[in-house]
Amino acid sequence: MDDSLSFESLLRGARKFACSAMEAHSEEDEEVFLLHAGVSIERLAKAALVRKSPFLLMELKGRDDTLYHLTGVRRAAKLRTIGAGQAIGRLRDMAVLPQRDPDLDELIELRNGVAHLMASVDDAFDGLSVFCRVTNQLLDHLSQDQGFYWGSWSTLVSITLNDLSEKVERDVARRIEQARRRLKLRFEGLPAEAMESYVATRPDLEYGLQISKESAPKVFLPQKCPACGNTAMVIAGPPVIVRKGEAGESQPESMICFVCHFTLKGHEMAAAGIPSRVPLVDAAGARLLTDVEEFLWHVDPSGDDLLEEGADPADS
């Protein structure tokens, strides 16, 4: 395989563009920052994929030149690998990155817009925070030292992420209090039975695996609402930890409470005290999936194996 597609080369390239992106941001050159930040994330995402398997860089269409190149059969004159969007999508399928991250999507769209002279940047969009956050997520996954990667920019990155964390925590705390207040005002002056009756009429939550041919499978899990204390629903993706005879664990993606209507998504979860890994069990602690179901979903996050009829448990 060409050294330009090796893990070390991709990581090295990602770091080079990360530093040039930070330099451009310090000089208030927004276009160069967006372009280089997007390239850096793309290369870091591809480094994460190639660490798993070089074949994850392949486009699943067109000629076989990329296949021959990656397998060392012959060097391709023009190499076609997946773009940033597909690389991020595959990492989401592998539960390396959250399924929903609109800010990351916007950063990549802005990068593409700059490249095609169509960028329109919203002043409210904090591209630097998104860039630093996603980069550190990928570095953690790859077990890479963040201090070495960022070099002289490490302090600025830490300040940026601390500010982001404080901002998210303030926003989540404010919304928790607003949800509590709305619920309290709704039943103010009414007997306690009114609240109990209301809670009893909320949707009967069905926990477990939800499979659809139109979208990736999800698992619905019970979780105490940080606002009202009633049982809410966490929506999570494929298991990221699987142990034989024990409940697997997934990464929570969002949460909704049907009592106080408080919601969370993505990186807001940690600010509300939702753990980064949640066991695949119901409110009573009973497992929601079998060993086989967890294994199949773990090895094929797209859920294709789960959709196949007659999957043989012996195959696990």
pTM: 0.71
Q: Which whole number is the average pLDDT over 183-207?
A: 87
Report pLDDT digits (tens) over 72-120.
Answer: 666 665 667 889 999 999 998 887 888 788 899 999 999 988 766 665 6
Query: Can you give the residue ranges of every domain in the chain?
Result: 3-144, 197-315
Q: Which whole number is the average pLDDT over 259-276?
A: 91
Q: Which of these ranges, 125-129, 212-216, 245-249, 263-267, has the smallest mean pLDDT?
A: 212-216
* Best CA proximity match to 12, nearest among 144, 131, 136: 144
C-alpha to C-alpha distance for 152 and 218, rounded to whole angstroms: 41
Burial of residue 316 (CB within 10 Å: 0-12, 13-18, 19+) is middle
Q: Which whole number is the average pLDDT over 6-22?
A: 96
Give me the pLDDT at residue 309, please.
45
Give me the pLDDT at residue 316, please.
38
C-alpha to C-alpha distance for 172 and 39, rounded to whole angstroms: 31
- CA 127, 131, 134 angle in degrees (round to 5)? 135
Fold entry, domain 3-144: Four Helix Bundle (Hemerythrin (Met), subunit A) (1.20.120)
Burial of residue 123 (CB within 10 Å: 0-12, 13-18, 19+) is exposed
Q: Is 3's pLDDT higher than 80?
A: no
Q: Is 312's pLDDT higher than 60?
A: no
Q: Is 236's pLDDT higher than 80?
A: yes
Q: Could you tell me which residues are beta bridge partners of residue 210?
A: 218
Distance of CA 314 to the CA centre of its chain: 32
- Secondary structure of 230-262 in the HEC alphabet? CEEEEEEEEEEEEECCEEEEEEEEEEECCCCCC
Give me the pLDDT at residue 205, please.
75
218: left (phi over 0), alpha (psi -120 to 50) or beta: beta
Q: Could you tell me which residues are beta bridge partners of residue 236?
A: 219, 252
Give me the pLDDT at residue 308, please.
61
Q: Is 314's pLDDT higher than 50?
A: no
User: What rounded mean pLDDT belongs to the chain?
Assistant: 86
Tell me how long the chain is. Answer: 316
8 Å CB contact between 161 and 136:
yes
pLDDT above 70 covers a percentage of the chain that reads: 87
The band of 240, judged by pLDDT with boundaries at 50, 70 and 90, is: confident
Token pair, residue 143, equals 């077990």
8 Å CB contact between 33 and 156:
no
Q: What is the DSSP string of 165-205?
A: HHHHHHHHHHHHHHHHHHHHHHTTTS-HHHHHHHHHTS---
